[in-house]
Amino acid sequence: MKPETAAALKRTIEALMDRGAIVRNLENLGERALPYRISAHNQQYNSGGYFLVDFYSPTTTVESMLNHLSRDTDVIRGNIVKHPLTQELKECEGIVPVPLEEKLYSTKKRRK
C-alpha cells in the first residue's frame, strides 16, 4: 500500500475521532478502476482505492465530517451512510394478492 494512501486514511480517521466518533472497523475494498471518470479538485481520476470505515458517532457531526471530506484533496468522493446491518430485516410474508376487481372501476366521485 502506498504511504500517501496510508497517510490520507490516518488523517480521515483522526478527523473522525476529533469529532467524537468511535471507529469500529476499517475495511479495504481493494484498489480498482472507477466505473466512470470522476473529476475532483480540478483533476480527473480513472482508478482509486475503496475504503469502508465503520464508526459510531452523534448525528450532529455528520455534516462537519462531510465538509472535511470534500475539502481533502486525497479523497475523490466521500460518503456517510447509515449502517445497513442496524436495520432489522423485516419479515417478508410474500406477494400479497391484490384484489384487482376493486381496481377495475375508479372510485372517484364524478359530478353528474
Binding site for other proteins (CB under 8 A): 29, 34-36, 38, 48, 50, 52, 76-77, 79, 81, 84-85, 89, 92-97
Shorter beta-carbon distance to other proteins: residue 10 or 32: 32
Minimum gap (Å) between residue 104 Cβ and other proteins: 20
**Are the CB atoms for 78 and 62 separated by under 8 Å?**
no
Minimum Å gap between C-beta 43 and other proteins is 15
Which CB sits closer to other proteins, 7 or 34?
34
CB of 95 to other proteins, least distance (A): 5
Phi/psi for 72 (5° steps) reads -70, 125
If you compute the radius of gyration of the chain from its CA atoms, what whole number of angstroms results? Answer: 23
Residues 46-66 as b/e (b if ≥16 CB within 10 A, e otherwise) read eebeebebebebeeebeeebe
